[in-house]
Chain A
Amino acid sequence: EVVLTQSPATLSVSPGGRATLSCRASQSVSNNLAWYQQKPGQAPRLLIYGASTRATSIPARFSGSGSGTHFTLTISSLQSEDFSVYYCQQSNSWPYTFGQGTKLEIK
């Protein structure tokens, strides 16, 4: 089973700033990695798939990079609605797994 480790657990950034979230896989997942945003009381929303492809209607300030075992989600020019929890998920091999999440909070 592929274990995904996200860091940091909590990230404090000021509005207008830049956030960099990390996701590391215990073995290579190629580029089969997705990122989700989840706000309280809501279902997760797909942001990025294939490591770097933005999903439909996702603003350009969200970008993903990486391949193999190290991936990054970057959010530039943070807006108030971006402060939430972010999860990575691999689909390279069953069982598909999620990271434990990074909470992005206002500094």
Chain B
Amino acid sequence: QLQLQESGPGLVKPSETLSLTCTVSGDSISSSNYYWGWVRQPPGRGLEWVGSIHSSGNTYYNPSLKSRVTISVDTSKNQFSLKLSSVTAADTAVYYCARQPYGKYDYWGQGTLVTVSS
């Protein structure tokens, strides 16, 4: 059974860097030949794609966030990670990680709320 689990601080101060990790079990990132992505959802609002990384390390980022986002993969731990720098209150959201075979998101983590506040 494929499972994804987000982890990281639930509170980040303005101007600092948000760091989250997604741990995958039940599938191997390195052998999947899939993209793995991050999607966020501000409270009471819709879904926003943040970025994706392929098992090979190739990445795509949302242009509106591109200058602040870095996604990396650690195949030895079967994890991929998100870093978002210079955060503001507008980055407060539930952050989901998801498997992304052929463009669709078929398995999702439960999501983790990250609040940006001093």
Q: Which residues of A line the B interface, CB within 8 A?
A: 1, 32, 34, 36, 38, 42-46, 49-50, 55, 87, 89, 91-92, 94-101
Contacts and interface: CB of A to CB of B under 8 A. Distances in A.
| Interface range for B | 20 to 34
A78 B91 CA distance: 36
A46 B103 CA distance: 12
B26 interface: no
B104 A87 contact: no
A95 B49 contact: yes
Given A43-B108, A43-B109, A96 B63 contact: no
Q: Dominant SS at the A interface?
A: loop
B96 A95 contact: no
Contacts of A92: 103
A99 B49 CA distance: 11
A42 B108 CA distance: 10
Interface of B: 37, 39, 46-49, 52, 60-63, 96, 98, 102-106, 108-111
B62 A89 contact: no
A87 B82 CA distance: 23
Contact of B63 (A49, A89, A95, A98): A95
A44 B47 contact: yes
A101 B44 CA distance: 11
A35 to B, nearest CB: 10
